[in-house]
Chain A
């Protein structure tokens, strides 16, 4: 075991533990934090693979924007984001599902280990100094990948337009006056305006 192996092992544990937390979490906020652990573990892997720039992008875009967006939506939905318990599954279905899941995971691991034990190549070669640096990635990005770069703008713009259109449906149609019910009030089934600090929060007030 070298120190590099220890680092790899720590990152792998972080990735898999985070993914498992995401899958089993009842509370979706725990799920979002598990996803964060997975993402940070993969950023650590990128460092080990000499992809320093990608590690930074992973932390900036994934951990800094995507997970934040998830947490935002969880805060918008409030406690309604919890999954309601499903008590209507028969024990036979549960056992069959468990066996199926275990079979898939074990088969994946078995195949991967089988391929691993047979492989003779796959050893990483030595690298030049600037492999994975911002400059080397950027050079390729702005020379060979110019067309996808411009197309990614179109994708981003369409996604934002679509998201605004979906997230604000019916906003113009219902007048937003304090006397009226707001569209958010109507759709979200309760007052979601920022709470008046002077007004005490009681158990009777709907949230």
Chain B
């Protein structure tokens, strides 16, 4: 067997596992904070793929530049998401996503 970490496939496998763990966490957890953390894990998994494929095709740095922008967007997303969680907590005094049901009643 060839040694690990010299093929793009290992990184694809790892990114797939991380992405599915993050997606599952987002689906099964009811704590909005944990759900936001799971979104961050999914973003990280896609970033890893971008960088791994840039390593496979190294003629330009597009993948890394794109991953850089994804990181900047993730920072903005976390800021807004956490502000929304604070607003939700003020409104319902809870961080349970089942309590976000005002529009249903």
Contacts and interface: CB of A to CB of B under 8 A. Distances in A.
A and B touch in the complex (CB under 8 A): yes
B37 A22 contact: yes
B56 A22 contact: no
A148 B73 CA distance: 11
B24 A105 contact: yes
A108 B41 contact: no
Interface in A91-118: 97, 101, 104-105, 108-109, 111-113, 115-116
Given A5-B3, A66-B40, A145-B69, A137 B61 contact: yes
A182 B31 CA distance: 27
Contacts, number: 247
A188 B92 CA distance: 10
Given A145-B65, A166-B83, A124 B8 contact: yes
B34 A49 contact: no
A140 B65 contact: yes
Given A15-B18, A112-B13, A32 B37 contact: yes
A167 B87 contact: yes
A28 B34 contact: yes
Interface string A52-66: 011001100110011
B28 A23 contact: yes
Q: 5 shortest A-B CB distances, which residue pairs? A: A8-B5, A23-B25, A159-B76, A163-B83, A5-B4
Given A73-B82, A77-B89, 13 more contacts: A16-B17, A19-B18, A19-B25, A23-B24, A28-B37, A35-B37, A62-B44, A62-B74, A74-B33, A123-B6, A132-B61, A159-B76, A162-B83
29 contacts: A12-B10, A19-B21, A19-B25, A25-B34, A28-B33, A28-B34, A28-B37, A38-B44, A45-B48, A49-B55, A51-B54, A54-B64, A62-B71, A62-B74, A66-B40, A69-B78, A70-B78, A80-B93, A80-B94, A80-B95, A81-B95, A119-B9, A122-B8, A124-B8, A131-B58, A136-B61, A159-B80, A164-B83, A166-B84
